[in-house]
Structure 1
Amino acid sequence: MPLPGDVALPPSGHAIAPPSLVRPSPSGDPSGPGFLPAYPAGLDAVPDPAKKASIGQMAMFGSASSPLPDLPAAPVQASAPRQAPAAAPAHPAREVIDLLWFNPASMLRIRKHPAWKDLLADVKPRPDDEDLDDDAPQGKRPSAKDRRDILAILARGKPLTVDALDQVIADAIGDDGAFTPPLALVAGELELLFDEVETLKALVAAVSPLAVRDKRLKDAVDAIHEAFKMPWVQGATSVVEGMTAQLKDALAQSAKEVNLRTIDAHVERALLENRLFQKRMVMSQTRIRTLLHAPGGGARVAAFVPESVGKELPACVRFGARVMAELRLSPDHRDKAMLRVIAVSGVIRNWRSGWR
């Protein structure tokens, strides 16, 4: 005779195993999918046969002497179909080195450099080398070998950063103190600087329509027009930069409804489209002055390219670049060193996104 609280056994004499979907949780408490539901508060886990079962107990357990009823199997949830991994693009994104310009007259010295001799020994001709049409007239077009070699160095050579140039200068000073300008392959962000006078002119052109209804702004524009009548002003870059700052300040105070960023973007676009870059007389030639920045900011160095190269540069204020240059001590007291660029390439991080 079963004792109170015992579960009745079937004729075989073995206790009925719980349903396969009923399993204890790691904590011992029945919970979660596949576990028995928690007992309602105030309801005994197993009814006492000596007591009269309540309707709720009978509904859940039946009589105390009957075996535990089979619980309905929990619905099996279909697992989500596994998605096949996305196919790799046919042309994975990677850095692209785009040769913008180089000086063929420097190739003899470049090929003699010990750091690049082994690299150039492995460069092989390509079937399409002679097919490149760069619009250069016959006789002035660089040879396919020159272009192939300089591009190989720019793409495969190990570049320095701007931070490392101090050590390069120190290594180029002989025991007798003589300095021999070394060649260096340098990577960074190349920033194009705009001509100071042309920047002020473009700003005046953008602001003039607003000055019609704003006396303070009109007075500032008129003062600039008067200053430009003096021939010495256009050669005094510091004076021109001061007038530009004053005009921007007047614009900020007067035209509250005007977005200053919109004005700056208009001026920048006009200067870029017309290639109105900052120029300096360096080593007996007029050259475009740019700044090569270390990645992430910090150190920077002035980099000078021939004036004619301005037409080859991308229409970006700042872009990734690798330059081959002669490292020289700067004649400008504000800089200790400068780069005389003899080759420049753009570095496109992802060719699908362009120069951004």
Structure 2
Amino acid sequence: MDVVAQGPLPVASLLWQSRPGTWALTVICKATFLLVPTEAQLAPEQDPIVEQDEHWDDDETRSLRAASDIAPLKQRADVVLVGMAFAPEARPVRSFVARMIVGDIDKSVEVFCDRAFTLDGALQEGPRITRMSLRYERAGGGPDTWNPAGMRPDTRDRQGRIAVPNLQPLDKVVSGPGDLLTPIGLGPIAARWPSRQQKLGRHAGRWSPADLTRAPAPEDVEIAYYQVAPPDQQVDVLRSNERIVLDNLHPTHAHLVTSLPGLEPKAVLAGREGGPRVIPMRADTLVIDTERAALVVTWRAQIPLRSAQEEGHVTVSLEHAEKEPAPREEMGKTTAFVGDEEGPATLPFKATSPDAVITFAPAPPRSPLARPPSEGTVALERVDLPSPAAALPFAATSPDANENAAAPAMKPPALIFETPALSPAPAPSPWASGVPQTPAPDAPGTAPHARAPEPIVAARKTIGEVVVEGALPTSPAPSAAAAPGFAVAPSANGGMSPSDALLLVWLDRKTMPRVVRKRAWQEILDAREEEPIDPEFDDPALFKDPAEMEDRAEAHAILGRAAAVSFEGLLDAAMRAAKKAHAIPPLEVCEGELSLPFDPIEALKTTAATARPFAAGKEALSAAIEEAEGFIGSPGYQNAPGLAERFTRSIREAYALSAHGLGGDDLDVLVARALCEGRHYQRRRVLGGNHLRALLRAPGERHPLVVYLPGAIADDLPLFGQFPARLLGEVHFAVDPEEKLPIALRAVALGRVVRLPQA
């Protein structure tokens, strides 16, 4: 059987045995696209088929530069990323986060400059970086891990230093050489690595896919062996217009949003009775190459043969998809034979029709809270062709076997990766950031955001993605007159400049005796004493209590002039204080963008009330609101914020699908404004009192710092969802296990930075 390319795409084929004397042909086709904003473009030069794993420097002990394209089939679709990560705006930084979103995959890697622990346990850091290789050699690992090419935690160099991996999972704080870093990466996994060899069971090290041309695969070889992506980078379906979001993974676009262009190969089988047949090809591999700014998609189809010498030919051409891809929830509605989970998923497996073309269909949709299955669950879609022959693929079937019999029992193989869980945690409330979730500004060269609702097949953004984008620095808010609707406009942040004004919003005067005694701030206070008195503002008669005027003036001077401490510096200060018997929390100044997340219960009430007028004639929206109102009326609902967030998301999603328009305003903006005006902020009873829970986002820091403000000052806060701020506060170790960082700040003074127009 010949395979011929009719067009620019390279093709290949693999002739293999499903069982002794039963042959199958896998047709392979791949396309290379340019990685550009909005929609990828077909590249003028196409990458060739990769016939075997290509290791860096041709050294099999190193990680893969490219995985082999030759495989008989893949149960799920692989998404891998190779190349470099790029610091925002090419500015040298200590660390940054690289993030990839493709379909249901949302994965981030924290990227650091070179680091090493010395013999005395001190952490040394190398030069700041503008880019970093994403090879597995830069991540944690070693011979006894799933990443044998990674950096070992027990190896010292000639100076006695232990290198710390450049790539690490989020939320991991490295404080000493004994801190082990879980291996993490985005690239393909070599066939010889433990995680794939384990899929071969007792045949590990003795069997390879090349043996399929000589004999069938052993029965206990798992299908998942052919997956080259880590388990958390595998999806059921890779669509022809799949949406791709990359953060700090493109040399010129820090935040790149694009999609596959909807092109698909068309394979036509000729030479059999009944005339030519179109063979469905399934996309099962996406490679993102950030250094080359390229995307590579691989498709595959399996054809049963009457014999290894069967004549005929398959012609593969490139064309646009004949129809829009179905929504994800519809793509599982196929004639599928899905094995149960009582035995191992293996090669061979059973098929039915003698002339069937076998492709994989996704399993039925899962509950949002359900953990996705591991690699072993198989769903087969059977496309019957006329003319009987032997069964495909792999398992022998008796001549009188029941065609409608259930597929053999299958059990997902054990997940051996120490990577983050396959399913991301439930998405946070859309109100978690305390501001309306408007899209971030487009990266240079991208098309502006359109107001028209995109079709369902365009892969809408996840709530988690919208929240992250909403938290990114934005341009200065328009004036109130120009702001559409009731938008709670965020302010721009970027550190104080001479033209900025600092407003002292609140001060805890009881702490001032401690504040003024801190040696690091004595020079600031001494310099203030030397400044001339302004009778218009410094007259003690302006205050009922002259001491209050003095306290506020000193706090203002420290907030405005003291050097802000990084989050790492705050942790160091807390560690030093903890070594003292009295353990008084240290006082420090920090700065960033301050936001106050909204209470999820109040957010649900307000969302339901705001959306109710637009629910007439909208079944899904009405049902979502009624479910939410039923929850609000149930006993103890105030103690279930997680459920409230789920109901809020349901209303927002139903509202988005109902294609409503509010004359320029949207549901998010109206709800956020109402919550802000009602001061419905999150509150925590910690540190001996009732506090508002705020979040401080600082440049270069991955996670926000939790700041506790007195609950009584809610009405004194500005009606901005977020604003630049400088804070003076006590550094405490975390008092809430749900928080990301090991420290928190109890504010004793809050200053708001106001951006003034340049002359």
Distance verdict in 2 for CA 1:123–1:241, change over 3 Å: same
Equivalent residues of 1:187, 1:322 under 8 A apart: yes
Select the residue among 228, 231, 242 that pairs with 2:632.
228
**CA contact 2:567–2:701 (8 Å) conserved in 1:** no
For residue 106 of structure 1, report the CA deviation from its aligned partner. Answer: 0.7
Kindly provide the amino acid, as one letter, of the partner of residue 350 in structure 1. L
Q: Which residue of 1 aligns with 2:261?
A: none
Residue 198 of structure 1 aligns to a residue whose secondary structure is helix
Q: What is the deviation of 1:216?
A: 1.7
Aligned match for 1:244, one of 640, 648, 652: 648
RMSD over aligned CA atoms reads 2.6
Unaligned runs of 5+ in 2: 1-496
Match of 1:218 in 2: 622
Secondary structure of the residue aligned to 1:106 is helix
Could you list the structure 1 runs, at least 4 aligned residues long, displaced by more than 4 angstroms after superposition.
131-134
For residues 261 and 179 of structure 1, do their structure 2 counterparts lie closer, same or farther at Cα, with a shift above 3 Å needed?
farther
1:174 corresponds to 2:579: yes
Which has a greater percent of helix?
1
**TM-score if structure 2 supplies the norm length?**
0.32
Q: Residue in 2 aligned with 1:310?
A: 714
Measured against aligned partners, the alpha-carbon deviations of 1:163-183 in whole angstroms (never above 9, x if no partner) come to: 43222223323277x744111
1:258 maps to 2:661: yes
Partner of 1:187, secondary structure, is strand
Deviations 1:28-51 (A, max 9, x none): xxxxxxxxxxxxxxxxxxxxxxxx
* Percent identical: 27
For residues 197-220 of structure 1, the C-alpha deviation after alignment (integer angstroms, 9 at most, x for no partner) is: 111111111110111221221111
- Alignment length, in residue pairs? 256
Partners of 1:131 and 1:350 lie apart in 2 by 28
**Scaled by the length of structure 1, what TM-score is found?**
0.66
Q: Distance in 2 between matches of 1:340 and 1:208?
A: 39
- 1:40-92 alpha-carbon deviations (Å, 9 max, x no partner): xxxxxxxxxxxxxxxxxxxxxxxxxxxxxxxxxxxxxxxxxxxxxxxxxxxx9
Does structure 2 conserve the Cα–Cα contact (< 8 Å) formed by 1:162 and 1:292? no
Query: How far, CA to CA, are the matches of 1:301 and 1:208 in structure 2?
Result: 36
Distance 2:503 2:758 in 1: 14
Partner Cα distance (1:285, 1:199) in 2: 23
Alignment correspondent of 1:341: 747
Q: Does 1:129 align with 2:535?
A: no
When residues 104 and 175 of structure 1 are mapped into structure 2, their CA distance, relative to the original with a 3 A threshold, is: closer
By how many angstroms is 1:103 displaced?
Answer: 0.6
Cα deviation digits, residues 111-138 of structure 1 (max 9, x gap): 111111222122235422247969xxx6
Which letter maps to 1:212? A
CA distance in 1, matches of 2:666, 2:713: 29
Change in CA separation of 1:286 and 1:142 when aligned onto 2, cut-off 3 Å: farther
Counterpart CA distance in 2 for 1:285 and 1:142 is 26
2:596 is matched with: 192
Deviation at 1:258, TM superposition (A): 3.3
Shift of 1:347: 1.0
CA distance in 1, matches of 2:749, 2:707: 11
Q: Aligned with 2:579: secondary structure?
A: coil
Indicate how the Cα distance of structure 1 residues 102 and 175 shifts in structure 2: closer, same or farther if over 3 A, else same: closer
User: Equivalent of 2:519, from 97, 114, 126?
Assistant: 114
User: C-alpha separation between the residues in 1 aligned to 2:737 and 2:503?
Assistant: 34
The 3-state SS of whatever aligns with 1:299 is coil
* Bigger Cα Rg: 1
Whether contact under 8 Å (1:198, 1:276) holds in the other structure is: yes
Question: Take 1:229 and 1:217, find their aligned partners in 2: how far apart are those partners?
Answer: 18
User: CA 1:142–1:217 in 2, change beyond 3 Å: closer, same or farther?
Assistant: farther
Aligned counterparts of 1:180 and 1:162: Cα–Cα separation in 2: 19
Structure 1 distance, partners of 2:691, 2:714, is: 9
How far apart, CA to CA, are the structure 1 residues paired with 2:651 and 2:541? 48
Q: Tell me the SS of whatever aligns to 1:347.
A: strand
Q: How does 1:1-356 map to 2 (within 5 A)?
A: 94-124=499-529, 125-127=533-535, 128-130=537-539, 143-174=548-579, 179-253=583-657, 255-258=658-661, 262-295=666-699, 298-335=702-739, 336-350=742-756
Find the residue that maps to 1:345 and give its secondary structure: strand
SS in 1 for 2:706: strand
In the alignment, structure 1 segments of 5+ residues that lack a partner are 1-91
CA distance in 2, matches of 1:105, 1:179: 18
Give the whole-Å Cα distance in 1 for the aligned partners of 2:607 and 2:513: 45
SS in 2 for 1:220: helix
Secondary structure of 2:666's aligned partner = helix
DSSP-derived class of the 1:129 partner = coil
